[in-house]
Structure 1
Amino acid sequence: MIPKSSKFLLTLVFSICFYFLLQIRATTTNCSSGVMETTQTTHIFILSGQSNMAGRGGVYNGEWNKLVPPECQPNPRILRFSAESEWVEANVPLHADIDVTKVCGIGPGMIFANNYLPVCAAKTVVGLVPCAIGGTAIAEWEKGEKLYNDMLARAVLALEKAGSGGAIKGVLWYQGESDTDTKSHADVYKAKMKKLIFDVRSDLCQPALPFIQVALASGLEEDLIDLVREAQLSINLPNVLCVDAKSLPLKPDNLHLTTDAQVMLGEMLAGAYVTHFNDFI
């Protein structure tokens, strides 16, 4: 028979343990609720621009072939901010519920995350915030326009739902094909791109936020492609990089990157970030 004093002690210990368990549950939630654990570190990246960021790799005749390269495999430490504003485990296509009027396939985001994750601390989570919309021009991303407002709103809410350990670490931007339609659009691309960077940084209160843009691999008018590329490659601002997609293989439409090209681009983006923004990791 257990003495009464021992029973009392066991009851007391159990009650204390149960109390602390409740406190832990009150201050942390898991990803199934759409809110991350407040104790974990989350590196958030905004994926924005148009179709080659949203991803058309593996999309042919209006259907995605569902071939997923090993570089795109899911990982419990890679999450995606869904259209329902919840953090969920990331799977390709990342933009399927964002760029909803088009068929999405493989883009660079998942490859970037899988290549970035190994340089992070063991408990770090990578949070991807898809915002890209196919066929959009730079003017549609100006501050005050719907696409800009939606991107900022998603970024702010993603940060809030990441908890106290969350931080926006960068913007990955691939856009410009739509601005190779007329010379007047191509001529103002550089000024509009610089203002976009300034506005995003200002509205997120992060004046040094890393920003990596992709120099075009394709477009509508050949001479205007070169004009927009020149604008992209010549932007000289602190913590702004440009990776060049020109040599990457295109699908038969001569506009969208193949799946293999997206894998290479994701690796290029991760390499550029890790090399140049080590202080942000």
Structure 2
Amino acid sequence: MTYSALLALLLLPVLAASAQAQSLLPVARTQQLPPPRKEKFQLYLLVGQSNMAGRGLVEAQDTVPTPRVLRLNKDGQWELAQDPVHFDKPTAGVGPGLTFGRDMAALDTSVVIGLIPCAVGGSGIDVWQPGAYFPDTQVKPYDDALARTRLALQQGTLAGIIWHQGETDSTPEKSAAYRQKLQTLIGRFRQDLQAPTVPFVAGELPAFQLAGPDPDGKRHPNPSLKRINHALVQLKQDVGHYTYVSSKGTHDRGDQLHFDAASARLLGHRYAKAMQHLQRAPLPRLR
């Protein structure tokens, strides 16, 4: 059996479950006005590629809205957050964003959380810079994220950024430059959004994302993936008010690429815990 045929066979239950999950997707969303005081509306920018956007299968628990967790929809309107939070592709599903938002709301019952979904499936870090165009989805990821965040800032305060990306950059050449590129991206977001100390949390790539098959048809650990994860660790030496979350214990949805829904929620909890830690930490000195 060829590798393509084997992959197709493995994906059959995933596709069947996906079709069943379509019935759970919210048909109508409820628009909600944010609180009148900007300091009570804490905004979080969600950026990266498909594992931030979410590809987990939607379950009933993912469609229950939380009154104090909103999302900025595609049209720039605030509504009660439900999965899928993102809208980058029709395959958008459960990602870490909603669980993250729920956890952050639980930490302070006096505030409302606003999620700004801007992740784009398949986008490499090179298109996360001003003017860069991503033909797969016909968007400019960085410019769009900046515009949506500035719109949200008219009513709220930026409290943090979470980032999960790197699958597209898991090649020997691209992974070697990842550390510097992500450091530049963090600095650019902070400068362009006039938020020099905004907390930034990145997520590790999972071990189940193996390298492509060798001629023998077997898949092996991807050294480029390890290099990217090592870069996330090293960035703590270079960037203030930054940390990363582990992908340990996560599982794929059957495609050896995307987190299943349970793992996406687990990452959401980890992002919230890391964000809380950064927000309580002393602010770095500005140079």
Q: Do the structures match in fold with TM over 0.5?
A: yes
Kindly provide the amino acid, as one letter, of the partner of residue 123 in structure 1.
Answer: S
Deviation, 1:73, is 3.1
Distance 1:169 1:208 in 2: 10
Distance 2:175 2:37 in 1: 46
Q: Is the 8 A contact 1:178 1:220 kept in 2?
A: no
Distance 1:37 1:187 in 2: 44
Distance 2:280 2:113 in 1: 15
Distance 1:147 1:126 in 2: 23
Q: Is the 8 A contact 2:210 2:256 kept in 1?
A: no
Question: What residue number does 2:11 align with?
Answer: none
**Residue correspondence of structure 1 range 183-202 to structure 2 within 5 A:** 183-202=172-191
The one of 92, 117, 127 aligned to 1:130: 117
Distance 1:68 1:49 in 2: 25
1:82 aligns with 2:73: yes
Question: What residue number does 2:55 align with?
Answer: 56
Kindly provide the amino acid, as one letter, of the partner of residue 91 in structure 1.
Answer: Q
Distance 2:103 2:33 in 1: 24
Task: Select between 229-238 and 126-135 the one with higher mean Cα deviation.
Answer: 229-238
Total equivalences in the alignment: 232
The one of 238, 248, 254 aligned to 1:252: 254
Deviation, 1:35, is 5.3
Kindly provide the amino acid, as one letter, of the partner of residue 155 in structure 1.
Answer: T
User: Deviations along 1:188-221, whole A, 9 cap, x unmatched?
Assistant: 1111100000000000111101000001115463
Distance 1:239 1:37 in 2: 27
Distance 2:37 2:266 in 1: 33
Q: Structure 2 unaligned runs (5+)?
A: 1-29, 133-139, 212-221, 283-287
Percent identity between matched residues is: 32
Question: What residue number does 1:20 align with?
Answer: none
Q: Is the 8 A contact 1:52 1:257 kept in 2?
A: yes
Structure number with larger C-alpha Rg: 1
Deviation, 1:249, is 1.2
Deviation, 1:268, is 0.7
**Residue correspondence of structure 1 range 197-276 to structure 2 within 5 A:** 197-217=186-206, 218-219=208-209, 221=211, 222-236=222-236, 237-276=239-278
CA RMSD of aligned residues (A): 1.9
Distance 1:123 1:229 in 2: 36
Task: Give the TM-score normalised by structure 2.
Answer: 0.76
The alignment partner of 2:60 has SS state of coil
